[in-house]
Structure 1
Amino acid sequence: MVLIPLALAQFICSFAGSNMNVMINDISADLHTSVQGVQVTITIFLLIMAAFMIPGGTLTERYGRKRCFRTGLVVYGAGAVLSAVSPGLGALILGNSILEGIGTAMLIPPVYILATVLFPEVTARARAFGVIMAMGGVGAAAGPLIGGLITSVFSWRAAFVFQALVIALIILLSRRITDPIPPDRTRAFDIGGVVLSAAGLILLVTGILMADNSIALALGLIVLGALVLLWFFRSASAKEKAGGEPLLAPSVFRVRLANLGLATQNIQWLLLMGTSFTVAAYLQVVRGYNAIETGVIFTAATLGLLVSSLAAERLAKRRAQKTLITVGFVLAIAGIGVLLAMVSDTSGPWAFTPGLLMIGVGLGVMLTPSVNVVQSSFGEEEQGEISGLSRCVSNLGSSLGTAIAGTILVAAPGPGSYTAAMATLAAIGLIGLGAAVFLPAQQ
């Protein structure tokens, strides 16, 4: 009964990040905006999640996991309602990107902290993470199908009504959740660290988004973002040495196993969201498919991800986490290659199935072990901090995937830009494969 609301929460947050991909044409026409306007809305949502996920994890220790979880649900629900009635792009950004983004940053860290402390045994925790990550993966992969169905039958606004209804259900179910760790109101909250970390991440991703307008401006923002993040880490290090409590203790990055796990997490979600955005944009803009047709084509990825994620417990008993993550990257990269090889301007919708299926299976195989690697590298007293960092890294990967793919598509409009975007994602996947190879071989 605890897992149901936690898994549903991960599902709806992941759904929100991908379902808008099939609404590009509908939203653009209704709100009199462009494909780039919708892309910016999606990217800001993912970026807000990444920027405030670490503070969200820290707040759980100060105010309690359950309270932060339910507060995040209320903020998210308010954003979904505002998005459903938004008269223009500005209101949609406020509701979907900002309010839903902040709500997600508050409710997601408690999901993984509660799962970690309630299931201390490795196999049981793998089962819990498997259910949660399966629902998250299905939310991301099935977002286009569900969103396309709702958009075609009703309108794109109804998709946000659906989100609000699911949030209301989760709030009701979450009444049974008990918080095993009492909140500590004496815990300090590093406001300066929040400002620096959020500013650095926002500048970094904004720089990528600006690449199609001005390379010089883009590089300037990326460098500035990197400098602000460096300032953040130096400040946190000084505060930690002085005996204070920084937003994120630099000591967590001294655990090599966790660092490699975080790298694989980041690139997994980058591949998932980057591929989803690129394929959805190609189907609608180039092929002229509507929302439901686009969603149906994504069914192959959804099924692959669902089956492999739900098998996480069984796979964890038989194979080392390194093996699962490595195989997952190989399958996902090969899936992109198959997609590029089989899809042409004259091919039918079936040509997308093998590649999307392989990508879905590959991502599903490695999502759970990557989370388990990171969360299990630390004790209970550090779960709030590492959970926030883990989800921040994953959501940063999601925002980077959409930003990188979208920037390539906008910078060079035409069928060739979609091939370039997918090839770029495959190249980044190779980096993730390299990180997986260096994971220790033991279970």
Structure 2
Amino acid sequence: MRRALITFALAQFLCSFAGSTVNVMISDISRDLDTTVQGVQLAITGFLLVMAVLMIPGGKLTDRFGRKRCFVAGLTLYGAGALLSSLAPGLGVLVVGYSIMQGVGTALLIPPVYILATILFGDITSRAKAFGVISAMGGIGAATGPLIGGFITSAVSWRGAYLVQAVLALVILELGRRWVRDPLPPNTSQRFDFGGAVLSGLGLLLVVLGILAADNNLWLTLGLVLAGALILTWFFVSIRAKERAGKDVLLPTVLFRNRTSNLGLVTQNAQWLMLMGTSFVVSAYLQVVRGYSAVGTGAVFTATTLGLLVSSLGAARFARRRAQRTLILAGFGITITGILLLIGLVSATENIWAFVPGLFVIGFGLGGMLTPSVNIVQSSFEDDLQGEISGLSRSVSNLGSSLGAALAGTILTAGITAAPGRSYTLAMVAVAAAGLIGLAAAALLPRGGPATLPVPPSERRAPTG
């Protein structure tokens, strides 16, 4: 099982790395492909959004076709997309390779990672450790993406960063074939809810597109967000009706009747929104406003990586001494403090070192709460619902990432040339506001002892009729 855990952790690292590494290549890509910062932002948000939209269907497909088979298929598509992106002659091909192919590949391979980890590590303690390793590697991947991507971009080119991803995908694919086993047979009799997949995906897509349109047309933004909300409402009504008729659904409504899990999902969304929002804003500001190179921008993010590593190394010790609710509350408090440091110090001085304290504190805060949030959500349900809750959990997290890049990025790019300092501050304030929402959700979590949060039996498996 240790070998399987290594494979899972590397897969999560690779996908998180892909989401943040492009941030430091904004200037190089826009110059090479003759596009704009907004064009590259579209590709980044597209990648994150495709993951968010398809993660729920991806989790459901694992039950139908098998966890390992989806894992292998996802890695194959991901690697092919990375290779295509490295050869992109223009923004359109980059969107196809990076945003679509790598996004779809990630949506196929990530749900099996968390489902198989839940099944293979049966007891709470070992499962918490497994989630800790996987989540930590995800956070480290997101944090080191700017540094590694910046180094490769400066030493070779931005295309080299995609080639590295393709090679890593091939290596992980081979490890997965050798070391990963699926203890449960696929449920071939289960029907796939295509209607539910279309409604959920379309609703999420419209919401994020609405946020992206905010700097161009406020009425268009309101219209898209409202349309997305109405379609998502239609989705929930439809799955309830299908359940009553005894049909297979994309997501059983029991997943939304667990208060602990729901609050945990809110914290996950806020965490990844803060991480990706901060990454995009700081990266774009350093390159477009301060004129830093890709490697210089990536070097600044070493502070975030160090913060994540320090808190991740102490995660097991923290979990033994403190309740998961306490760790999440502390994580949000620390991360928000880091954002305030970024705003205050960067506004006070032009020195590059002004970014370091805030980024380190943000990394430390995020590293301490990523694992508890995942464990709370996954452990709220039994094995027969792991496919659904894993897909929902990863979708909510990736939706947070896409909202972070869309919301904070839209605020920044709207005034990055006319009033860069003001735009930077407003974007970071928006990220901090998301942190306050996550903090409020964490405060409502039930109190529990170290390593676990008690979930009432009535909440674990509610009737579906």
Tell me if TM exceeds 0.5.
yes
Structure 1 equivalent of residue 269 of structure 2 = 266
- Does 1:316 pair with 2:319? yes
Query: Residue 311 of structure 1: CA displacement?
Result: 2.6
Report the Cα distance in structure 1 between the residues aligned to 2:206 and 2:399, rounded to whole angstroms: 12
Structure 2 equivalent of residue 219 of structure 1 = 222
Report the Cα distance in structure 2 between the residues aligned to 1:288 and 1:195, rounded to whole angstroms: 42
Report the Cα distance in structure 2 between the residues aligned to 1:365 and 1:121, rounded to whole angstroms: 21
- Does 1:440 pair with 2:446? yes
Structure 2 equivalent of residue 425 of structure 1 = 431
Contact conserved, 1:266 with 1:397, CA < 8 A, in 2?
A: yes
Structure 2 equivalent of residue 4 of structure 1 = 6
Structure 1 equivalent of residue 362 of structure 2 = 359
Report the Cα distance in structure 2 between the residues aligned to 1:301 and 1:89, rounded to whole angstroms: 29
Q: 1:254 aligns with which of 246, 252, 257?
A: 257
Report the Cα distance in structure 2 between the residues aligned to 1:224 and 1:246, rounded to whole angstroms: 22
Report the Cα distance in structure 2 between the residues aligned to 1:424 and 1:166, rounded to whole angstroms: 34
Report the Cα distance in structure 1 between the residues aligned to 2:35 and 2:9, rounded to whole angstroms: 34
Report the Cα distance in structure 1 between the residues aligned to 2:402 and 2:175, rounded to whole angstroms: 30
Letter of the 1:392 counterpart = S
Query: Residue 352 of structure 1: CA displacement?
Result: 1.1
Please state whether the residue corresponding to 1:2 is helix, strand or coil: helix
Structure 2 equivalent of residue 343 of structure 1 = 346
Structure 2 equivalent of residue 393 of structure 1 = 396
Report the Cα distance in structure 2 between the residues aligned to 1:322 and 1:164, rounded to whole angstroms: 38
Q: CA RMSD in A?
A: 0.9
Structure 1 equivalent of residue 456 of structure 2 = none
Structure 2 equivalent of residue 127 of structure 1 = 129
Distance 1:311 1:410, change over 3 A: same
Contact conserved, 1:123 with 1:313, CA < 8 A, in 2?
A: no
Letter of the 1:332 counterpart = T
Report the Cα distance in structure 2 between the residues aligned to 1:307 and 1:84, rounded to whole angstroms: 33
Letter of the 2:207 counterpart = L
Query: Residue 317 of structure 1: CA displacement?
Result: 1.4
Query: Residue 309 of structure 1: CA displacement?
Result: 2.1
Please state whether the residue corresponding to 1:148 is helix, strand or coil: helix
Residue correspondence of structure 1 range 69-108 to structure 2 within 5 A: 69-108=71-110
Letter of the 1:328 counterpart = G
Report the Cα distance in structure 2 between the residues aligned to 1:334 and 1:174, rounded to whole angstroms: 40
Contact conserved, 1:123 with 1:317, CA < 8 A, in 2?
A: no
Q: 1:415 aligns with which of 418, 421, 443?
A: 421
Query: Residue 409 of structure 1: CA displacement?
Result: 1.3
Q: 238-247 vs 18-27, which deviates more?
A: 238-247
Structure 2 equivalent of residue 239 of structure 1 = 242
Letter of the 1:73 counterpart = L
Gaps of 5+ in 2: 450-465
Q: 1:52 aligns with which of 38, 51, 54?
A: 54
Report the Cα distance in structure 1 between the residues aligned to 2:137 and 2:22, rounded to whole angstroms: 18
Please state whether the residue corresponding to 1:402 is helix, strand or coil: helix
Structure 2 equivalent of residue 303 of structure 1 = 306
Q: 245-254 vs 44-53, which deviates more?
A: 245-254
Query: Residue 345 of structure 1: CA displacement?
Result: 6.9
Report the Cα distance in structure 1 between the residues aligned to 2:246 and 2:320, rounded to whole angstroms: 41
Contact conserved, 2:347 with 2:421, CA < 8 A, in 1?
A: no
Structure 2 equivalent of residue 287 of structure 1 = 290
TM-score computed with the length of structure 2 as normaliser: 0.94
Report the Cα distance in structure 2 between the residues aligned to 1:237 and 1:44, rounded to whole angstroms: 30
Query: Residue 436 of structure 1: CA displacement?
Result: 0.4
Q: 2:17 aligns with which of 15, 18, 29?
A: 15
Report the Cα distance in structure 2 between the residues aligned to 1:84 and 1:257, rounded to whole angstroms: 42
Report the Cα distance in structure 1 between the residues aligned to 2:34 and 2:435, rounded to whole angstroms: 35
Report the Cα distance in structure 2 between the residues aligned to 1:346 and 1:437, rounded to whole angstroms: 35
Query: Residue 293 of structure 1: CA displacement?
Result: 0.5
Letter of the 1:417 counterpart = S
- Does 1:331 pair with 2:334? yes
Q: 411-420 vs 210-219, which deviates more?
A: 411-420
Aligned length: 443
Please state whether the residue corresponding to 1:247 is helix, strand or coil: coil
Structure 2 equivalent of residue 118 of structure 1 = 120
Letter of the 2:334 counterpart = L
Query: Residue 412 of structure 1: CA displacement?
Result: 2.4
Report the Cα distance in structure 2 between the residues aligned to 1:103 and 1:388, rounded to whole angstroms: 14
Report the Cα distance in structure 2 between the residues aligned to 1:225 and 1:283, rounded to whole angstroms: 34
1:4-31 per-residue CA deviation (whole Å, 9 max, x = no partner) reads: 1111100010001000000010000000
Please state whether the residue corresponding to 1:401 is helix, strand or coil: helix
Report the Cα distance in structure 1 between the residues aligned to 2:184 and 2:275, rounded to whole angstroms: 34
Report the Cα distance in structure 2 between the residues aligned to 1:310 and 1:236, rounded to whole angstroms: 42
Structure 2 equivalent of residue 379 of structure 1 = 382
Q: 2:202 aligns with which of 180, 199, 205?
A: 199
Contact conserved, 1:61 with 1:384, CA < 8 A, in 2?
A: yes
Residue correspondence of structure 1 range 139-218 to structure 2 within 5 A: 139-175=141-177, 176-218=179-221
Letter of the 2:173 counterpart = I
Contact conserved, 1:375 with 1:383, CA < 8 A, in 2?
A: yes
Gaps of 5+ in 1: none
Letter of the 1:95 counterpart = G
TM-score computed with the length of structure 1 as normaliser: 0.99
Letter of the 1:363 counterpart = L
Report the Cα distance in structure 1 between the residues aligned to 2:389 and 2:226, rounded to whole angstroms: 26
Query: Residue 187 of structure 1: CA displacement?
Result: 1.0
